[in-house]
């Protein structure tokens, strides 16, 4: 998965970022917070994040505002050249999908599809330059 974001103010609240850093990963989080008596602010958000991360696996992040050190506790890899990384990924998998701030979009075949909506900025072939 490639995540493209601004994050000019960082990743989530300060307590969220601290909780992710303190846990180190989904297993440690489950050990520390599976007991309902051990509750922390933003715990639900961190739990959701770790659940998604364990399903997704590898996450690449393109964000000019975030450093490698800021992203390291989140278990993701920073990329510096978005188009170069997307091109490499498309060589291995000829399909991609995108999500805009609106509704979740389905997969988009980079070779094109009759189902694409020409008025939808997310509905385009993935072999175009980003």
Q: Give me the pLDDT at residue 129, please.
A: 40
Q: Give me the pLDDT at residue 22, please.
A: 87
Beta bridge partners of 3: 61
Would you give per-residue pLDDT tens digits along the chain (130 residues)?
888 988 888 888 889 888 988 887 888 888 888 888 888 888 889 888 888 888 888 889 999 999 998 898 888 999 999 999 988 988 887 777 776 654 434 444 343 333 444 444 444 444 444 4
Q: CB-based burial of residue 50 (10 Å sphere; 0-12 exposed, 13-18 middle, 19+ buried)?
A: buried
For residue 119, what is the DSSP state?
Answer: T
Q: Give me the pLDDT at residue 125, please.
A: 42
Domains and CATH numbers, the chain: 2-78 (3.90.226.30), 94-130 (no CATH)
Contacts of residue 68, defined as CB under 8 A and 6 or more positions apart, other chains included, come to 78
Statement: the pTM of the whole predicted model exceeds 0.85: no
Looking only at the bridges linking them, the beta strands covering 77-78 and 95-99 are: unpaired
In Å, the largest CA–CA distance within the chain is 53
Q: Give the per-residue SS3 of 69-97.
A: HHHHHHCCEECCCHHHHHHHHHHHCCEEE
């Amino acid at each position: 998965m490639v995540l493209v974001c601004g994050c000019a103010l960082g990743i989530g609240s300060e307590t969220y970022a601290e909780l992710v850093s303190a846990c180190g990963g989904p297993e440690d989080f489950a050990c520390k917070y599976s007991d309902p008596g051990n509750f922390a602010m933003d715990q639900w958000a961190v739990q959701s994040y770790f659940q998604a991360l364990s399903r997704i696996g590898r996450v690449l992040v393109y964000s000019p505002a975030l450093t490698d050190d800021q992203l390291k506790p989140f278990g993701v890899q920073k990329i510096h050249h978005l188009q170069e990384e997307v091109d490499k990924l498309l060589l291995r998998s000829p399909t991609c999908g995108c999500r805009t701030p609106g509704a979740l979009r389905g997969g988009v075949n980079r070779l094109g599809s009759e189902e694409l909506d020409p008025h939808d900025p997310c509905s385009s072939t993935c072999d175009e330059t980003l």
